Structure 1
């Protein structure tokens, strides 16, 4: 993919849901063609996060402690104090974002790739929308790592993007849930 205009997300894949008590967790797995050290930088360094993630960070997330994450694309500014609970470079990053726990695992693949797994505690009603949003974020991340950035596509902008509604419906079907209602796209 070489430009935003040419980008179209592929079919829904690499996602699962887990339920433990009343806690729902979205689990996303993506194999990237880039080494763990490069992927680690992309998920921890503010200048990289600004190019693909649904949040901005006020500091490098590669160390334990407090950070501020600003949700991008929210109707009003939403800044949450976050705790980076574990930062084991370049293997595991655990943090809370808006009261939801997230765990990133980076596993080296044969050659020079990385299997990136994200566990994201999420409200059950938003699971398929979250999967669709992270799918697009991971596509943008992959392009960025390959030196072919297409620019961040998150929040309301992602929901208007061609392919998001299809992904939302595909993930809902895979998870065996109703496709959640979302604001219709302006015409």
Structure 2
């Protein structure tokens, strides 16, 4: 079985490495905005609990991930309901939402990486998380980002490595 890789590794105009994912959801942009800003909605798919003070310079409290210590981040930009960006663990996460019509929204996640060698690891992680978001958006239950050994993470990671996405960074919870 081959992993379905939906992320793209790229170099931004400013030279920073990133991985980018795009989805289309059958929900209005305001509903998709809730998926990326409301702590209870994020709990369905985001790797950590994220409580966001939704304003530029606001604090985000991350917790509950068994493989990472609790931490804080900073909101970089908010343009409700189209854009949210914030710092997390040295990376920058950008969520861009585009209303395609009254009932459909294009969702784009760009993970701007602090280190290029995290691309395959983060790409695989986001694939698992976004599969959980996809299911949640369809109204289905999914055991999501923390599905542990049941998650296809390793196969997806190997897929990214095999197509030349930079790798080699330690994997929380798997590397010593």
TM-score normalized by structure 2?
0.81
1:140 is aligned, of 104, 112, 132, to 132
On the 8 A contact 1:45/1:62 being kept in 2, the answer is no
Counting only pairs closer than 5 Å after superposition, residues 72-151 of structure 1 correspond to structure 2 as 72-74=65-67, 78-110=69-101, 112-122=103-113, 123-151=115-143
Root-mean-square deviation (CA, aligned residues, Å) is: 2.8
Q: Distance in 1 between matches of 2:64 and 2:16?
A: 22
Matched, 1:168 2:157: yes
Unaligned 5+ segments in structure 2 are none
Q: 1:167 offset after TM fit, Å?
A: 1.2
Gap runs ≥5 in structure 1: 1-7
Alignment of 1:19-34 (within 5 A): 23-34=16-27
The answer to whether the Cα contact below 8 Å between 1:14 and 1:30 also exists between their aligned partners in 2 is: no
Q: Deviations over 1:111-133 (max 9, x none)?
A: 62221111212222221121111
Could you say what secondary structure the match of 1:53 adopts? coil
Pair 1:107–1:21, CA change in 2 (3 A): closer
